[in-house]
Amino acid sequence: MISSNDFKTGVSIEIDGDAYIVVEFQHVKPGKGAAFVRAKLRNLRTGAVVERTFNAGEKMPKAHLDRRNMQYLYHDGTYYVFMDNESYEQSLLTEEQMADSKNYLIENMNISVLFFKGDIIGVDLPSQVELEVIETEPGIKGDTASGGNKPATLQTGAVVRVPFFINVGDVIRVNTKTGEYIERV
């Protein structure tokens, strides 16, 4: 069990048989009445974000998520195919289950796949990935790191804002949580 007072971003809880992860939370102490916690929760099965209010100290069961190390093999147009590194069984995930994670997947990448009550509910990416820039406007002589930014399309199809000095073919490090450029590799 976990108390609503102990909410942190990334904590997983179970409500009505579904697993939710805390996206945002705010402790509210009104002048009159009891304190409460307002939270945004993402349903790990459907990806839907809901807003719920909990009484301060309200207890909820913690969602027990199993993580298995799997290798991303390929995308067949409909499903993302993963292989269990121990049993070599293949599992399929849909576009909805992948959500924004698909923007940071490279073939043969090892990642943690999340299971809840035996069903795959999503993936847990590393906090940073290195991806190649395949399309961006060319840099102009005199552009500096602090002089603004431009859009760049990465090998996965994701579009990230990068500094002007980044060119096609450069490999960059990207934060998978925020989708922001970190540095050139």
Q: What is the pLDDT of residues 134-149, one digit of tens each?
A: 999 886 665 555 567 8
The residue assigned the tokens 């945002």 is 24
> Which phi and psi angles does 170 have, rounded to 5°?
-70, 145
Which pLDDT tens digit goes with each residue over 34-54? 999 999 998 887 778 899 999
pTM: predicted TM-score of the whole model, two decimal places: 0.71
Q: Tell me, what's the pLDDT at 27?
A: 92
What is d(CA 35, CA 74) in angstroms, rounded to the nearest whole number?
48
- In 10 A of CB 139, how many CB atoms? 16
Is the pLDDT assigned to residue 174 strictly greater than 60? yes
Which pLDDT tens digit goes with each residue over 52-90? 999 989 999 999 888 899 999 999 988 999 999 999 999
3-class state of residue 132 by DSSP: strand
What is d(CA 22, CA 4) in angstroms, rounded to the nearest whole number?
11
Q: Which domains does the chain have, with CATH numbers?
A: 2-60 (2.30.30.30), 66-124 (2.40.50.140), 128-184 (2.40.50.140)
